[in-house]
Amino acid sequence: MNSRDQILAAVKKNQPALQPLPALADLQAIRFTHPVEKFTEVLTSIGADVRTGYDLNAIATFIDGNFTEGRRFLGNIPGLPGVGSLDSTVDTHTLEDLEVFVLKAGFGVAENGAVWVTDAQVQERVLPFICQHLVVILDPATIVNNMHEAYERIGNQDYHFGLFIAGPSKTADIEQSLVLGAHGPKTMTLFLNGGI
Amino acid sequence: MGTSTTTHASLSEQFNADEARVNWHDETLWWVRQKRDKAAWTLPEWEELRETASRIKHNTLSNLHQYLLSFEEKALANGCTVHWAANAAEHNEIVLNILRDQKIDQLVKSKSMLTEECHLNEYLAANGIDVTDTDLGERIVQLAKEAPSHIVLPCIHKKKEEIGELFHEHLGTPAGNADPLFLTRAARAHLREKFLTRRVAITGVNFAVAETGEFVVCTNEGNADMGAHLADVHIACMGIEKLIPERKHLGVFLRLLARSATGQPITTYSSHFVKPRPGQQLHIILVDNGRSTQLGREDFRNSLKCIRCGACMNTCPVYRRSGGHSYHTAIAGPIGSILAPNLDMKKYADLPFASTLCGSCSNVCPVKIDIHNQLYQWRQEITRAGYAPAGKAAAMKAMAMGLSKPGWYRLGGKIARRMMRAIPFLFNNRLNAWYKQREMPAPPKETFADWYRKNKNQSNQ
């Protein structure tokens, strides 16, 4: 018997009598009177910069004025000045000088400040990680209360790679001192705008 | 066992040689525990959420055979390659064979307690493979040639000055610089070079979904993603108990994991891997290594619900004061002490005794594993099997005799109280384990029985 069959046989023999799966509908999960405010509060508390009142031009000006170290900006927002889209033939290993990546997230989650992104929105999966600074545009009307609503919204969406992002990459491995910018972006700026 | 240098007690003594460090370790982990409490209290439904998670895992374990088949079928349909490993040795061979097929001798790896359990790094090193751990804490312990001392905070036992010295030696940072921001930036530059040049990435798995064949990896640093998305080959290693039934159940577990682990509302990244990138290979290794046996042990089955958050360690009064390395197993602390004896009851016979049975671990466990009960039950099993430490077994027999015969108990107590007053040296010496690091209490003037007799008479008058 190969290992697969051996493991499956042992599991079948040793697993207890079938226990029912609890219904998630019974769980009274937290809801917020002002989900957008809650989302902003939580995401800010975990190190992101949340901004409102920026249109495309204002976002472009912000990016241009704040991220000056490298000059390579990529994104997938049509009509965002100064930000190119990724050439599909580019080798992702040459992206280490990517200063800013701009993406539009699918929706946000108020309870934890996370935004949902799939490979359809990022072209190359490594882009939101390899950039030095991440810029996210989110429609505030998409913000759900909690993770149960988030997965209801995701449903059986057919993504190849899906991702919740909540703030800049970080670590506290050295004596529990929080440092923003471990391996991924050092900052995350999120613009709440329903018109982009 | 009592005199061996690899028991929890003797290893704890080494850790306790530096009192200031022990105090720092204790306070820091308690601070993490308090952050967990604050995060839990933000959700009125927290207890209900724990109960739901526990029941989902109960269902998973009771239907694991079917869920494994479903996961395999979906993962294959997604274009992944699925491997099955009965034990650690087979797991390691599978990884090595994938590397040999690719003619690759260097790789990046993100955190996976399973690969620690299987001692993959040592095996690959012995076979000429260069492994770079990419989680900052894991990289630090790797450079120090140590094992992680905590499943979430791998180098919590290290002071920043020691890390500064390690980085000076291995990464060429200036001597004497121990600034966490500076050192983290140095590691970022050092590891980016690895991410950009390694063609194989190994990651762990936090949750695998039977319904869809996808799996989720949670990190704060983004190292699992940097590795996996830049590599031609991604190898994901998981224990068979990592399954959950449906995608929507991720909502329950992602709400619990980071809050329980560090007090964060969610980890920075929760990456859902479904299909390999075009041209990429995605291998999933399903590992048993004792799990199917544990599944058949009714008293210990619930330990398989564990989602590796580390909350039981952060709250444990013994772990906080003895350090992760004192457990001499990949997964330290209360949960490790109920998992390890399943793998080798004799080698880990000391671990279930490394507890006060206070129950704090069970109270914080996000999937409601009855950890302290299982510690107690392992003690029974270990003693029955004859693996209990000789001194402890003898003391227990003496205690049983004394406690079951009231006359002996009273006489023994009387003698002990007199001796403690007359010849304190008999008790206050290094042979008495209870005298270590503390003073013995003053012997009471009278026993409770005496006091009760006196006061009972008074109240009756």
**Domain range summary for chain A, segments of one domain joined by +:** 31-192
Cα–chain-centroid distance for residue A111?
Answer: 14
What whole-number percentage of chain B has pLDDT above 90? Answer: 83
Angle formed by the axes of helices A3-14 and B64-77, nearest 10°: 140
Measured in degrees and rounded to the nearest 5, phi and psi for residue A111 equal: -65, -25
The reply to whether residue A11 touches residue B249, judged by beta carbons under 8 angstroms, is no
* B423 membership: H or E segment, kind and range: none
pLDDT, mean of residues B306-330: 97
Q: What pLDDT score does B389 carry? A: 79
Q: What pLDDT score does B1 carry? A: 40
Beta bridge partners, B84, equal B286
Which amino acid, one-letter code, is at A123?
Q
Q: What are the respective helix, strand and coil percentages of chain A, to the nearest 5?
A: 30, 25, 45
From the CB of residue B122, how many other CB atoms can be counted at a distance below 10 Å? 11
Q: How far apart are CA B215 and CA B236, in angstroms?
A: 9
Angle at B131 between CA B130 and CA B132, to 5 degrees: 120
Enter the tokens of residue A145. 């209360």
Q: How far apart are CA A159 and CA B47, in angstroms?
A: 32
Q: How far apart are CA B211 and CA B216, in angstroms?
A: 13
Q: What is the mean pLDDT of chain B?
A: 94
With contacts defined as CB-CB under 8 Å, which chain A residues touch B48? 27-28
Query: Which residue segments constitute the domains of chain B, with CATH numbers given?
Result: 1-9+314-400 (no CATH), 43-158+199-292 (3.40.50.10420), 405-460 (no CATH)
pLDDT, mean of residues B339-354: 95
How does DSSP classify residue B246?
Answer: -
Q: What pLDDT score does B457 carry? A: 72
Q: Dihedral of CA B272/B275/B279/B284: which sign?
A: positive
Sorted by sequence, the CB contacts under 8 Å of residue B318 that are 6+ apart come out as B354, B355, B356
A85 vs B328, more confident: B328
Are B68 and B295 in contact, with CB atoms under 8 Å apart?
no
B251 vs A1, more confident: B251
Q: Does A88 touch chain B (CB under 8 A)?
A: no
Question: How many residues are listed for chain B in this entry?
Answer: 461
- In A, minimum Cα distance to B46 occurs at A29
Q: What pLDDT score does B459 carry? A: 60
Enter the tokens of residue B129. 């493979």
Q: What pLDDT score does B2 carry? A: 41
| Confidence at B4, pLDDT banded by 50, 70, 90 | low
Q: What pLDDT score does B393 carry? A: 80
pLDDT of B373 above 60 = yes
Are A126 and A156 in contact, with CB atoms under 8 Å apart?
no
Question: Computed over its alpha carbons, how large is the radius of gyration of chain B?
Answer: 25
Are B314 and B151 in contact, with CB atoms under 8 Å apart?
no
With contacts defined as CB-CB under 8 Å, which chain A residues touch B197? 93
Are B63 and B235 in contact, with CB atoms under 8 Å apart?
no
- Which of A117, A173, A175, A178 is most worth mutating to test chain B (most B CB atoms within 10 A of its CB)? A173
The reply to whether residue A160 touches residue B274, judged by beta carbons under 8 angstroms, is yes
Enter the tokens of residue A6. 């051996």
Nearest of B51, B59, B60 to residue B366 by alpha carbon? B51
Q: How do residues B59-100 score in pLDDT, each as one tens digit? A: 999 999 999 999 999 999 999 999 999 999 999 999 999 999
| Confidence at B377, pLDDT banded by 50, 70, 90 | very high
The reply to whether residue A183 touches residue B86, judged by beta carbons under 8 angstroms, is no
pLDDT, mean of residues A59-75: 88
Residue A62 buriedness (CB in 10 A; 0-12 / 13-18 / 19+): middle
Angle at B409 between CA B435 and CA B380, to 5 degrees: 70
Q: What pLDDT score does B460 carry? A: 56
Q: Which of residues 127-166 of B touch A (CB under 8 A)?
A: 134-137, 140, 153-156, 159-160, 163
pLDDT, mean of residues A183-191: 98
Are A165 and A137 in contact, with CB atoms under 8 Å apart?
no
Q: Which of A137-146, B44-53, B326-335, B399-408 has the lowest mean pLDDT?
A: B399-408
Q: What pLDDT score does B3 carry? A: 43
Rounded to 10 degrees, what is the CA torsion of B235, B240, B246, B252? -100
Q: How far apart are CA B210 and CA B134, in angstroms?
A: 28
Beta strands in B103-229 (DSSP E): 106-109, 130-133, 200-203, 207-209, 215-219
Give the residue ranges of DSSP H helices in B262-359. 291-295, 311-315, 317-322, 333-343
Give the residue ranges of DSSP H helices in B81-131. 88-101, 113-117, 120-126
Beta bridge partners, A162, equal A118, B272
With contacts defined as CB-CB under 8 Å, which chain B residues touch A159? 272, 274
Nearest of A126, A111, A196 to residue A161 by alpha carbon? A126
The reply to whether residue A125 touches residue B225, judged by beta carbons under 8 angstroms, is yes
| Confidence at A82, pLDDT banded by 50, 70, 90 | confident
Which amino acid, one-letter code, is at B325?
H
Buried b (16+ CB within 10 A) or exposed e, B341-351: bbbeeeebbbb
Q: Does B61 touch chain A (CB under 8 A)?
A: yes
pLDDT of B282 above 60 = yes
Q: Nearest Cβ partner of B65 from A15, A20, A166?
A: A15
What whole-number percentage of chain B has pLDDT above 70? Answer: 98
Q: What pLDDT score does B171 carry? A: 96
Q: Is A138 helix (H, G, I), strand (E, B) or coil?
A: strand
Q: Dihedral of CA B185/B189/B190/B194: which sign?
A: positive
The shortest C-alpha distance from B359 to chain A (Å) reads 26
Q: How far apart are CA B258 and CA B277, in angstroms?
A: 28
Asked if CATH classification 3.40.50.10420 holds for the domain at A31-192, the reply, yes or no, is: yes
Q: What pLDDT score does B437 carry? A: 74
Q: Does A29 touch chain B (CB under 8 A)?
A: yes
CB under 8 A, 24+ apart: contacts of A13-17: A13/B296, A14/B292, A14/B293, A14/B295, A14/B296, A15/B61, A15/B62, A15/B63, A15/B64, A15/B65, A15/B295, A16/B61, A16/B62, A16/B295, A16/B298, A16/B301, A17/B62
Q: Is A170 helix (H, G, I), strand (E, B) or coil?
A: strand
Q: How do residues B434-455 score in pLDDT, each as one tens digit? A: 787 778 888 888 888 888 988 8
Q: Does B38 touch chain A (CB under 8 A)?
A: no
Question: How many residues are listed for chain A in this entry?
Answer: 196
Q: How do residues A137-182 score in pLDDT, each as one tens digit? A: 999 999 999 999 999 999 999 999 999 999 999 999 999 999 999 9
Matching residue, tokens 């206070």:
B358
Q: How do residues A34-48 score in pLDDT, each as one tens digit? A: 999 999 999 999 999
Q: Nearest Cβ partner of B153 from A168, A173, A182?
A: A173
Sorted by sequence, the CB contacts under 8 Å of residue A172 that are 6+ apart come out as A178, A179, B153, B262
Beta bridge partners, B273, equal A161, B215
The shortest C-alpha distance from A195 to chain B (Å) reads 26
What whole-number percentage of chain A has pLDDT above 90? Answer: 84
Q: How far apart are CA A32 and CA A11, in angstroms?
A: 43
Q: What pLDDT score does A39 carry? A: 98
Q: Nearest Cβ partner of A161 from B230, B249, B274?
A: B274
